[in-house]
A and B are shown apart, each in its own frame.
Chain A
Amino acid sequence: MRKFWCLFFMFWPIAAIVYSAMSPAYGWWFPGASVTELGQRIDNLFYLILIIITVVFIGTQVALGYALWKAAHNKDEKSHFSHGSHNLEVIWSVAPAVILLFLALYQMDVWRDFRVKAYFPEGTIESPIAEVTARQFEWRIRYPAPGKKLQLKPQPDDLYAVNDLHAPIGRAVMIQLRSEDVQHAFFLPHLRIKQDAIPGQVIPIWFKAEKKGLFELLCAELCGWGHYKMRAQLTAEREVDFQDYLKKLQADQNYDGFPASDSVAKKEE
């Protein structure tokens, strides 16, 4: 019976490690390599933390297993109560504190590059490509007209889309995130971007997609009963295609029942 408990307590950590080791092969992991370089650096942080906790986990579990196994054979000694050891207390308080402090310092430049406006890549802050407004339960997107800059307030020639964000690849771009009602979270899992949208705030997010493709854009904050409906997509495409998309959006938005070339209004300005 004593050995049973030893085996029982050893089974679970081993199962957990086997399960984790199998995960990537079954797709229970990150949704592919990050499409952004910054995302890869974020992944590296995750892996660093994973390595640290794996070492600690295996170490503590082996120690637990060893103690149980040894005690199972030891029928002579009785257990005795101790109020603990001052030295041990210091060690297991200081060691995690050192690890946490190390992580806090080590991740700072990734955080700075992701969040601190002064370190945003050049050109992003001056000309955001779009304003994304979360609302129950969709993403409404406002682009400036081709060749113009996004203004804080809507402009007559702004272009509108819903649940369909487009961005060029190969250059860093910024969007302005807002919320119309409650707290939402702008989540691009393939780009490793997650940012809360807060009513009343305009929050800048930058990213630089390196690869063409369609990527999921989700809400990652339970925002109400229709939370699951906030499934949009990001189309990362070549600069030319992005500009074409904006032109197409513009033509659609100016549609007056006649093909664009026939219309007088389009020759405005």
Chain B
Amino acid sequence: MSVRWQTIVALMLASLLAGCGGDTSKARFAENSALAKQLLPKARKAVQKTLDDHFGSPLDSVAWLKLPVNYGKAEGTVKTVDGQKLSVEFNAEASDLESLTSPELTRAGLLFTSGSNAGKQVLLAKFDSKNSTFETLPGLESAPSSGDQFVAAGHFLRHGRKLYARHCQHCHGVSGDGDGTTAKYLNPRPRDYRLGVFKFTSTASFPAPIKATRDDLKRVIALGIPGTYMPSFVPMLKENELTAVIEYVRWLAMRGEIEKGLVTELKGEYSKDRSKDDGIDKSLETYLSETYPNFVNEIAGEVGEKWSGAEEEGTPIIPKKPRPQDTAESRHRGKELFLGNKAKCVNCHGPTGRGNGPMTEDFQKNPDTNETYAERGLYDTWGQPIKPRDLTRGIYRGGRRPIDIYRRIYAGIKGTPMPGNSQALSEDEIWDLVNYALSVPYDSQAPKSPKPHSVAEHSMDHGHAN
């Protein structure tokens, strides 16, 4: 009896001490294995190493200054210097300093902005937030002197990571792959950020799609996406928390895109099926030591440019004319466009806007691979089946303001078969479509159409009879 009790108590104590977390110190971002498995093992390792070097792991992330991410920065002044030990004073707000204890900060280091080391960066061996002292790694030519000013970066990344882990990760996944633990219960699936594509943006898609702006992401987090499982996170998250989460999500998206870019580049020469080629190892080695480092910088630059391009002034689509009056005539013109061959809305959204157009019943081709999908219906860029919106329900995922609908029609929905119409339609035509689309849920209350016997009207009535 007593032995059994002792065993039970000992086991309980042991489990208490061990906790249930396991070893989290080795947490890593998941590899995009669907892509990476096509590579030679050595090339695959090289990509992983690049990502580890420039992004780190979830608990020890690296602020890669090449990317247009606001990692958060705190300015400070050196007070006293004792060898590698610097005692410093921050002139940031206390709330910003809260998260300055981060290992991220240690890895990002300090950038001197004045004194003999101006413009130079130094990595830190230790940071003691209580006493505001740094221990720097050797690397500076001349010792900093008291009064030198510096910038420390990285606390948004840490703060964002924590918030992301608490609120987003269980659906969107540690690496932003949209494959968190609760993801499999959701339809539609949570967004996989790693393509760098976000659906509901205010930016153009022609000639080349522009990334989502910070404000676009903020709108989605603040308002949620009705009709999906994405809820609103405001007022739970405060303004500075939103900023941190948004930067973290952008950072994850850039990480995923860079991973994809690297794999795509290496796949050309060093794919798995070439493992038996003569001298492939040697060639890979030469490539990795000579060309690859430059390529990494190049692709990071490219990805970064796209994201910073979205933040340029004037990026959000603003029509040149305000919305015209929502008259029966305008709606009618919109309806004719909707049903007509110019805008082709009817092909997917169906004659009554129920989202059951002929395209949804047909076999579609994957625009990237040119292969026909095995099942009928439409697919998005992530390979998931997708349904055209049922316009009669009055649920607008990207927002219900006229400007939102205008942008949906003008630029399409990125990553989906909904195309941009900025080239096909004039502004007036888009506004007519907006007026029509917004009237569909309240069709029975709509003002009577001036031409009740038109073909369009006829098919409408038919739809109602059903």
Contacts and interface: CB of A to CB of B under 8 A. Distances in A.
A265 B232 contact: no
A267 B318 CA distance: 21
Given A154-B441, A156-B445, A263-B323, A226 B400 contact: no
A244 B167 CA distance: 33
Contacts of A182: none
Nearest to A154: B394
Given A162-B224, A229-B236, A265-B326, A257 B445 contact: no
Given A154-B441, A229-B167, A136 B235 contact: no
B324 A265 contact: yes
A155 B224 CA distance: 21
Given A136-B229, A255-B402, A225 B167 contact: no
A160 B232 contact: no
Nearest to A232: B235
A255 B326 CA distance: 14
B147 to A, nearest CB: 44
B233 to A, nearest CB: 7
Contacts of A230: 231
B449 to A, nearest CB: 16
Nearest to A156: B442
Contacts of B317: 257
Nearest to A263: B322
Interface string B319-340: 1001111100000000000000
Which size bracket describes the interface of A in this complex? 20 to 34
B439 interface: yes
A256 B441 CA distance: 20
A136 B441 CA distance: 23
A268 interface: yes
A162 to B, nearest CB: 4
Nearest to A180: B226
Contact of A254 (B226, B231, B401, B442): B401
Contacts of A163: 232, 234-236
B403 interface: yes
B231 A265 contact: no
Given A154-B394, A156-B442, A156-B445, A264 B232 contact: no
Contacts of A263: 322-323
Nearest to B170: A225
A162 B232 contact: yes
Which size bracket describes the interface of B in this complex? 20 to 34
Contacts of A267: 325
Contacts of B401: 252-256
A233 B233 CA distance: 12
Nearest to B442: A156
Nearest to B394: A154
B325 A253 contact: no
A242 interface: no
Contacts of B326: 265, 268
B114 interface: no
A262 B323 CA distance: 10
A171 B406 CA distance: 40
Contact of A256 (B400, B406, B442): B406
A83 B326 CA distance: 85
B299 interface: no
Interface in B388-418: 394, 400-403, 406
Nearest to A259: B322
A138 interface: yes
A43 interface: no
Contacts of A258: 322
A231 interface: yes
A253 B438 CA distance: 12
Interface string A161-178: 011100000000000000
Contact of B403 (A156, A160, A255): A255
Contacts of A256: 319, 322-323, 401-403, 406
A140 interface: yes
Interface string B199-237: 000000000000000000000000110100101111110
A255 B226 CA distance: 19
A117 B1 CA distance: 63
B228 to A, nearest CB: 11
A245 to B, nearest CB: 15
Contacts of A187: none
Nearest to A226: B231
14 contacts: A156-B439, A162-B232, A164-B234, A226-B231, A233-B235, A256-B319, A257-B317, A257-B318, A257-B322, A258-B322, A263-B323, A264-B323, A265-B402, A267-B325
Given A255-B403, A265-B324, 18 more contacts: A138-B231, A140-B226, A154-B441, A160-B400, A229-B167, A233-B235, A252-B401, A253-B400, A254-B402, A256-B323, A256-B403, A256-B406, A257-B317, A262-B322, A263-B323, A264-B323, A264-B324, A265-B326
Interface of A: 136-138, 140, 154-156, 160, 162-164, 225-226, 229-233, 252-258, 262-265, 267-268
Name the 6 nearest CB pairs between A and B, nearest first: A256-B323, A138-B231, A257-B318, A256-B402, A258-B322, A263-B322
